[in-house]
Amino acid sequence: MKGKIVFEEHMAILETTAETKDFAGESGRFDEFTEEILDLDDMRLAAMDRTGIELAILSLNAPAVQSILDTDQAIEIARKANDTIADAVKRHPSRYAGLAALPMQDPQAASEELKRCVKELGFKGALVNGFTQRGEEDSAIYYDIDEYRDFWATVSDLDVPFYLHPRMGLPSQSKNLEDHPWLRSSPWGFSVETATHALRLCGSGLFEDFNNLKIVIGHLGEFIPYNLWRMDARMRFSTRGYRGKKLLGDYFREHFYITTSGNFSDASFRCALETVGKDRICFCTDYPFERMDDAANWFDNTTLINDAERRQIGRENAIELFKLDME
């Protein structure tokens, strides 16, 4: 399919490249991987052309800003990354758009940077790499707490999507994975960490306060669609501390979009389609952590959807979600 739109597509600046080394894949690939994630011109555009991707909405790699302990430095790096994305959009306005990196160490600064990116740079929303560390290495701040209500008010006022992207949990806070560091990473921990954060948002009363929020998570829903029925069923018995007025499933289906990034499986896709429906799923690749070719070859050939549904998931849902000036 030609004309696909993708938006879990990562870039980096020199200050954040080293953080991706563990995810570069096979031994010896880091130099090639670094070139790919820094490149915003010929190499990336050639891959997009080859795989039928018309537009990529770029975002900063993980954990990047979210792992910077010093708030002033986090603000500086976020701004530099966003300016780098904006420069790429200026060079290739028909091929790129931007999602803002945000210094969530300071909710007010994050709000101001999001407003700058949307109103001045024309960005389409934000992508934040999970919880934020601040001041101390052993800190993990999640965005369901009251400290972030004014930030969410900004997101609501701007009416832009917020992509909650994975990062690894801290060793001190994941004792059940001790001596198994691979479990903290992308095979398992990414989804556990992100799904838990997403469910915290659902259970915090956030969507009662701001009923137009649109949250995006990747990898075909980070395990949530597979277990959503059971979670709702068990909520009949376990609601202590739950501040929502609806079932988790209601919030998830009303406020969340999920993408195909890095999960090119018919079995998972079938579950997502049956759980949230084709209106809430978007095609993405997770480049350069995944190959655009692998993502496109799977999506263009899966028999679970017809051509009209393929166009909807591969293009039209993103146009509506990000209010893109495209047909």
Confidence of residue 174 (pLDDT cuts 50, 70, 90): confident
pTM above 0.85, yes or no: yes
Q: Which two tokens stand for residue 209?
A: 């306060």
Strands 162-164 and 126-128: parallel
The count of other CB atoms within 10 Å of the CB of residue 233 is 11
Distance CA 114, CA 93 (A): 20
Higher model confidence: residue 18 or residue 68?
Answer: 68
Express each pLDDT in 187-231 by its tens digit.
Answer: 999 999 999 999 999 999 999 999 999 999 999 999 999 999 999
First vs last C-alpha separation in the chain: 15
Query: Residue 24 pLDDT more than 70?
Result: no
Catalytic residues: 286
Distance CA 231, CA 257 (A): 18
Q: Which two tokens stand for residue 124?
A: 């389409």
Backbone phi and psi for residue 143, each to the nearest 5 degrees, phi listed first? -95, 10
Express each pLDDT in 252-282 by its tens digit.
Answer: 999 999 999 999 999 999 999 999 999 999 9
Express each pLDDT in 110-169 by its tens digit.
Answer: 999 999 999 999 999 999 999 999 999 999 999 999 999 999 999 999 999 999 999 999
Q: What residue spans define the domains of the chain?
A: 4-322
Query: What's the confidence (pLDDT) of residue 28?
Result: 58
The count of other CB atoms within 10 Å of the CB of residue 26 is 7
Give one DSSP letter per residue of 204-242, joined into a string.
TTHHHH-TT--EEE-TTTTTHHHHHHHHHHHTTT--TT-
SS3 category, 89: helix
Strand partners, 10: 59
Query: Residue 304 pLDDT more than 70?
Result: yes
DSSP state of 283: -
Q: Which residue has the tokens 């800003």?
A: 65
The count of other CB atoms within 10 Å of the CB of residue 150 is 12
String of b and e for 48-74 (b: at least 16 CB within 10 Å)?
beebebbbbbbbbbbbbbbbbeebeeb
Query: What's the confidence (pLDDT) of residue 238?
Result: 84
Express each pLDDT in 43-92 by its tens digit.
Answer: 999 999 999 999 999 999 999 999 999 999 999 999 999 999 999 999 99
Distance CA 156, CA 158 (A): 5
Which stretches of 103-184 are DSSP H helices?
A: 107-115, 149-158, 181-184
Give one DSSP letter per residue of 48-74, joined into a string.
HHHHTEEEEEEEE-SSGGGG--SHHHH
CATH topology of domain 4-322: TIM Barrel (3.20.20)
The count of other CB atoms within 10 Å of the CB of residue 306 is 9
Query: Residue 177 pLDDT more than 90?
Result: no
Distance CA 147, CA 153 (A): 12
Q: Is the distance from CB of 6 to CB of 54 less than 8 angstroms?
A: no
Residues 6+ apart with CB under 8 A from 72: none
When pLDDT is averaged across residues 30-34 and rounded to a whole number, the result is 82
Higher model confidence: residue 217 or residue 182?
Answer: 217
Residues in the chain: 327
